[in-house]
């Protein structure tokens, strides 16, 4: 995935899985296209190390936090391979993450304490 500037996304539906408490600032999220999703043809599943599926990227004007990209806008920018994001903000109702570029991902992989090493 190649993005010229910082891009943020909103993670939703986490209460259907492990809840919001699983997210921490700095947690690495794996973003996976889910083209066979019955509810959203542009669905992007969010997974975390040791937890598996933890939510989806918001893709509705009612759920996308202002200043973040919708799942549909991100979907077309994703290669067939997975993309990654890092949690930057957590509020009572939202988790906001920044999409990580390949060079940032490589730097994170150098840190043995980073969650990115499961990728």
* Topology of the domain comprising 8-105: Alpha-Beta Plaits (3.30.70)
12 sits in which H/E element: strand 8-12
Tens digit of pLDDT at every position of the chain (119 positions) = 444 578 999 999 888 888 788 999 999 999 999 999 999 999 999 999 889 899 999 998 899 999 999 998 999 887 767 789 999 999 888 899 999 987 787 787 777 666 655 54
Q: What is the pTM of this model?
A: 0.83
Closest CA to 48 of 74, 89, 20: 20
Domain boundaries, the chain: 8-105
């Amino acid at each position: 995935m190649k993005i010229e500037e910082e891009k943020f996304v909103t993670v939703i539906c986490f209460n259907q899985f492990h809840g919001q408490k699983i997210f921490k600032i700095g947690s690495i999220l794996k973003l996976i296209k889910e083209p066979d999703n019955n509810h959203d043809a542009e669905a992007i599943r969010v997974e975390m190390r040791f937890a598996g599926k933890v939510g989806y990227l918001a893709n509705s004007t009612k759920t996308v936090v202002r200043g973040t990209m919708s799942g549909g806008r991100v979907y077309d920018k994703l290669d067939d391979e997975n993309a990654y994001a890092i949690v930057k903000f957590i509020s009572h109702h939202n988790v906001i993450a920044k999409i990580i570029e390949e060079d940032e991902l490589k730097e994170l992989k150098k840190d043995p304490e980073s969650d990115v090493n499961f990728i």
